[in-house]
């Protein structure tokens, strides 16, 4: 495999890891009321508002912040039988929504406008983080969720009924869709899950191995 080919597979895996991380974070919020590490959520929400990164390393400069996603991705596509059916269901649902979104120019245009507005709220007017998360959540509800079958989120009612958690879950689903779009832009295709699974597994294992060798704790 040439270095260029190897690099593109690494980039695709990083995008998929971010998608898997968003799905795993949704599960944590729904079942436990919070995400275990703040950095896990922060890096995903920041990716939503960075719509024109120069490279994937610019979007994700610290791959240690995607460790949960890399481990979740490996759990789903690796040789282990210990699959997380819930995370898989969220990932599959998001990929279906992404396909509908990219085929809907009107929805894409409206999404771009909404994200530009949220970017201004955060960077120009320094809105509070919970306000930005709520704006992301409503963007998902208004523009993406109606495109397909609503994703059923499993969890404890005491957590799912909290408005702040509802906003965060929808914001994380928006981040999942954003990274599904990125994966597609990098040439990712559904058939890769069947015919190129081992390439993806090797890339994810290589990234995780490097992270372990240069271990950085999450905040």
User: How long, in residues, is the chain?
Assistant: 219
Whole-number pLDDT of residue 79: 81
Whole-number pLDDT of residue 126: 84
Whole-number pLDDT of residue 64: 95
For residue range 16-33, list pLDDT tens digits in order: 999 999 999 999 999 999
Whole-number pLDDT of residue 4: 61
For 36, residues 6+ apart whose C-beta sits below 8 A from its C-beta are 28, 68
Q: How many CB atoms lie within 10 A of CB 109?
A: 10
Whole-number pLDDT of residue 219: 47
Asked if residue 184 is part of any domain, the answer here is yes
Q: How many CB atoms lie within 10 A of CB 86?
A: 17
For residue range 182-205, list pLDDT tens digits in order: 999 999 999 999 899 999 999 999
Angle CA(69)–CA(59)–CA(9) in degrees, nearest 5? 60
Phi–psi pair at 112, nearest 5 degrees: -60, -40
For residue range 149-162, list pLDDT tens digits in order: 889 999 999 999 99
- What is the domain count for the chain? 1
Output the CA–CA distances (angstroms, integers) from residue 93 to 23, 111, 147, 151, 181, in the order listed.
Answer: 10, 19, 11, 7, 13
Asked if residue 172 is part of any domain, the answer here is yes
Cβ atoms of residues 20 and 76 within 8 Å: yes
Q: Which residues of 150-179 are buried (b: 16+ CB within 10 A; e: fewer)?
A: ebebebeeebbeeeebbbbbbbbbbbbbbb
For residue range 60-117, list pLDDT tens digits in order: 999 999 999 999 999 999 888 888 999 999 999 999 999 999 999 999 999 999 999 9
Asked if residue 218 is part of any domain, the answer here is no
Specify the CATH number for the domain of residue 34. 1.10.3890.10
Cβ atoms of residues 16 and 183 within 8 Å: yes
Asked if residue 163 is part of any domain, the answer here is yes
Which residues span the domain enclosing 196? 3-213
pTM: 0.93
Whole-number pLDDT of residue 125: 83
Asked if residue 29 is part of any domain, the answer here is yes
Arithmetic mean of pLDDT, 126-135: 92
Whole-number pLDDT of residue 6: 66
Asked if residue 144 is part of any domain, the answer here is yes
Asked if residue 219 is part of any domain, the answer here is no
């Amino acid at each position: 495999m040439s270095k260029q080919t190897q690099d593109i597979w690494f980039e695709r895996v990083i995008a998929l890891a971010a998608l898997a991380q968003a799905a795993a974070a949704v599960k944590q919020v729904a079942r436990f009321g919070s995400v275990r590490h703040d950095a896990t959520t922060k890096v995903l929400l920041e990716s939503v508002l960075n719509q024109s990164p120069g490279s994937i390393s610019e979007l994700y400069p610290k791959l240690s912040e995607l460790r949960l996603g890399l481990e979740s991705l490996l759990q789903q596509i690796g040789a282990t039988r210990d699959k997380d059916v819930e995370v898989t269901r969220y990932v599959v649902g998001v990929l279906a929504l992404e396909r509908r979104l990219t085929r809907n120019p009107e929805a894409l245009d409206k999404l771009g406008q909404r994200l530009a507005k949220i970017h201004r709220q955060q960077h120009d007017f320094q809105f509070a983080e919970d306000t930005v998360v709520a704006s992301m959540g409503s963007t998902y509800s208004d523009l993406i969720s109606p495109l397909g079958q609503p994703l059923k989120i499993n969890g404890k009612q005491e957590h799912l009924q909290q408005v702040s958690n509802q906003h965060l879950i929808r914001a994380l689903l928006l981040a999942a869709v954003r990274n599904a779009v990125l994966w597609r832009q990098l040439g990712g295709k559904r058939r890769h899950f069947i015919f190129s699974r081992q390439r993806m597994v090797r890339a994810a294992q290589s990234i995780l191995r490097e992270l372990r060798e240069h271990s950085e704790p999450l905040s």
